Structure 1
Amino acid sequence: MNLLDYPRWPSLARESILNIPVDLRSRRVTIQGRTIDYGEDVDSVVITGMGGSGVVGDIIGDLCWFWGCGKPIIVSKGMRLPRALSKPLVIAISYSGNTAETIASAREALNRGFPTIGITTGGKLAQFLNELGAPVIIIPKASAPRYGLPALLYPALVILERFGVMNVASELESGIVGMEKAVKSLEEAQGIARRIVNTVPVIWVTESRRGVGIRFKNDLNENTKYYAIVSVIPEGAHNDIAAVMGKQQGLSHVFIYGEGDYEARYLETLMEVVKSYGKEAITVKLSGGTPLESEMFGVAFLGLVTLALAEMTGTEPVGTEPIDKLKRLLDERKVIT
């Protein structure tokens, strides 16, 4: 089985943080006569990106449930930034550097006077930020954006540490341990793939692990070309459950949580209800001694599940032609400016 870049994840994480400018907080950028001072305090953080890049914000959102981040984290997956922003730090993440939505958001951020930092392999985003003197972190390349997740995530974590939003330095290596554990759990991943083959997976996930659930859904979409549903509890237990426990056929139910998560007992109780309707409950417990370790174990392990599923179904995992076609049409029609 081809594991693509997953065995490289530890090195991608370590290499990516080497290119973070040492003078990050001393940068000053002048836009239209206005000076943006990266040394000033910020009152929030906006993480903007799409697809495999955008999930970085979701994962950081998860971690804030455990770490108690010092500033609000706003995940923006669109062409514009939220209007009600005062003094945010904006982290613009685009693996390719050519994501039109992210470039538009970065331009808007700088025009509004917000300190903006890019994380990318290059492309138009790097060129645009370099021309203005704004910080840009160039990361190592992978087979596709989603396979380079650690290279996108780890610089963002270090940036947040430098801006006083979170204390993460002591946990970075534990996240790498989680990635390594996942690769060693390949047989277990293949076993879960066999249980969900030829179904529509319903992913039941706790609020504090929403990012893991979204990442799993995205990997199913892109690697396996499977449709999947993410139901975040407790909200999903007040609506989604009424539909999926009925006569619908062809669904599988995957429950994701960490053993120490405060919502774990809630999800375990939900599993009992699912089983009482004759449905099989597939459990994925996130292994790890720290929040980052368990989070990175989860996204890596579930990514391997989707690669195993792609192999079982004879699906080529890397290509995403419909996404590429849409991007070409949006560019030709200048939909995003």
Structure 2
Amino acid sequence: MNREMYETILNMPDFMEKALKELKLNGEVPLEIDGIAFFGMGGSGIAGRIVSEWLNYEWGVNVYSYNEITIPRNLSRNTLITLISYSGNTEETLMAAKNAINGGYKVAVISSGGRLIEIAMEKNLPHIIIPRIFSQPRESLPYLFTAAVKMLMETKLIGNVQLNQLNDCIETLYNVKKGLNTNNIPKILAEKVYSKIISIFTYTPLTPAAIRFKQSLNENSKVMAKVEVIPEACHNAIMEWEENPEILKNIAMIIIREDVMKERLIEISINTLKEIALQRGATVEELHASGSNVLSNILSAIYIGDLVSIELANIKGIEARRINLIDYLKGKIRSSIYM
């Protein structure tokens, strides 16, 4: 039913490899950049969150990610405010662009067109244009993410070492793709969590994978899902299980994790959470990240999670690309702002 979207997601490594070769910066990045802050919403904004988590955690680079309209005051004027919107017409991102420009910040743009690219051209802002070949912004992640990395390379905040990790990540995704021919993990996982409310548990630095998984389950599968991050979840979230044992029977707990845990405390926490959830009748499953570095871990988990969301939509017999309520809400916002 959702074959075209499934194939688009399945070709994630192919799109990333193509984007790495084809995407070019238009204009020049300003000098003396000491950090970069990505602003975007939903399926566009998650690209900045992935880059931020990867480079902060593994390399200590000053990269920030916001799903906001206003520009936080802690950002210096040497931070490159980079607006990401696949359509180029996302109202919140356009407002962030206006606030950044009026605030005297250095600004860059990543988009496929729309008003955002028009602003970039009018203001002579550095920008990367990605091809308008996707039906929904969330399908364009391989291009948006790769464009974000290319923008960072132009600022000289990262270099060949990080580029090598990106190439390793693409190779990891190809290996995962090949493995799906013999072990259809997405379909198996979707069948196990069908008809459940999904509670996703993970830990830093895999948080972007959990957030993206929730977004994909919400938009593609039209199911209720939430994200809990360990160890914080161990100090509050588990208490909702104590007085509501009947509800847990309708919950599917999916843990996004590495094969080999680096932190013993996190591993103990995961095992204990699984024990408690199983004792109370919840369904418990794991989604294992692949690869030898943080970026590969994050994107391999996203890759499987996106495919799970399409398989779940197929089981439910619904159109994954349909987002009627989001379209209605966006229409209300536009009509109210421009009336």
TM-score by length of 1: 0.89
Q: 1:137 is paired with a residue of what secondary structure? A: strand
Deviation at 1:294, TM superposition (A): 2.0
Cα distance in 2 for residues equivalent to 1:311 and 1:273: 31
Count how many residue pairs are aligned between Structure 1 and Structure 2: 322
Q: Partner letter of residue 48 of structure 2?
A: G
Partners of 2:200 and 2:226 within 8 A in 1: yes
> What's the CA shift string for 1:260-318, capped at 9, x where partnerless?
45345132343233334343320111011222222211111110001000000001001
The one-letter code sitting in structure 2 at the alignment partner of 1:142 is: F
What do residues 96-144 of structure 1 show as CA deviations (whole Å, max 9, x unaligned)? 0000111111122122222211111101100111111101211122121
**Residue 235 of structure 1 pairs with residue 243 of structure 2:** no
Task: State the match for 2:140 in structure 1.
Answer: 148
Residue in 2 that maps onto 1:320: 323
TM-fit CA distance, 1:45: 2.1
| Distance (whole Å) between structure 2 residues aligned to residue 115 and residue 15 of structure 1 | 28
When the two chains are superposed, the root-mean-square deviation of aligned CA atoms in Å is 2.1
Which secondary structure does the structure 1 equivalent of 2:68 belong to?
coil
Query: 3-state DSSP class of the match of 2:25?
Result: coil
CA distance 1:22–1:107, shift in 2 (3 Å): closer
Among candidates 168, 176, 183, match of residue 174 of structure 1: 168
Report the equivalent of 1:89.
80
**Alpha-carbon distance change, 267 to 60 in structure 1, aligned in 2, over 3 angstroms:** farther
Work out whether 1:58 is the aligned partner of 2:49. Answer: yes
CA distance in 1, matches of 2:278, 2:52: 30
Greater mean alpha carbon deviation, residues 303-312 or residues 51-60? 51-60
How is 1:101-250 mapped onto 2 (pairs within 5 angstroms)? 101-140=92-131, 141-167=133-159, 168-184=162-178, 185=180, 187-244=184-241, 246-247=244-245, 248=247, 249-250=249-250
Match of 2:33 among 10, 16, 41: 41
Matched AA of 1:139: I
Contact 1:58 1:211 in 2 (8 A): yes
1:162-201: CA deviations, max 9, x gaps? Answer: 3233341111222222332343426111000011000000
Tell me whether 1:20 sits opposite 2:11 in the alignment. no
Q: Is the 8 A contact 2:79 2:105 kept in 1?
A: yes
Task: After superposing the two structures, state which structure 1 stretch, 61-70 or 108-117, moved more.
Answer: 61-70
Q: Is the 8 A contact 2:25 2:151 kept in 1?
A: no
CA distance in 2, matches of 1:68, 1:61: 10
Farther off after superposition, 165-174 or 209-218: 165-174
Q: Distance in 1 between matches of 2:222 and 2:46?
A: 18
Counterpart of 2:28, as a letter, is L
For 1:257 and 1:156, how far apart are their aligned partners in 2?
Answer: 25
Aligned-pair distance for 1:259? 2.5
1:66 Cα deviation after fit: 4.0
- List alignment gaps of at least 5 residues for structure 2: none
Partners of 2:31 and 2:8 in 1: CA distance: 36
Q: Deviations over 1:231-252 (max 9, x none)?
A: 1111111111111353114111
Measure the CA separation in 2 of the matches of 1:56 and 1:291.
Answer: 15
SS of the residue aligned with 1:208? coil
**What's the CA shift for 1:65?**
5.1
Question: 1:173 corresponds to which letter in structure 2?
Answer: N
**Aligned partners of 2:108, 2:260: CA distance in 1, in Å?**
34
Question: Does the CA-based 8 Å contact 1:48-1:105 persist in structure 2?
Answer: yes
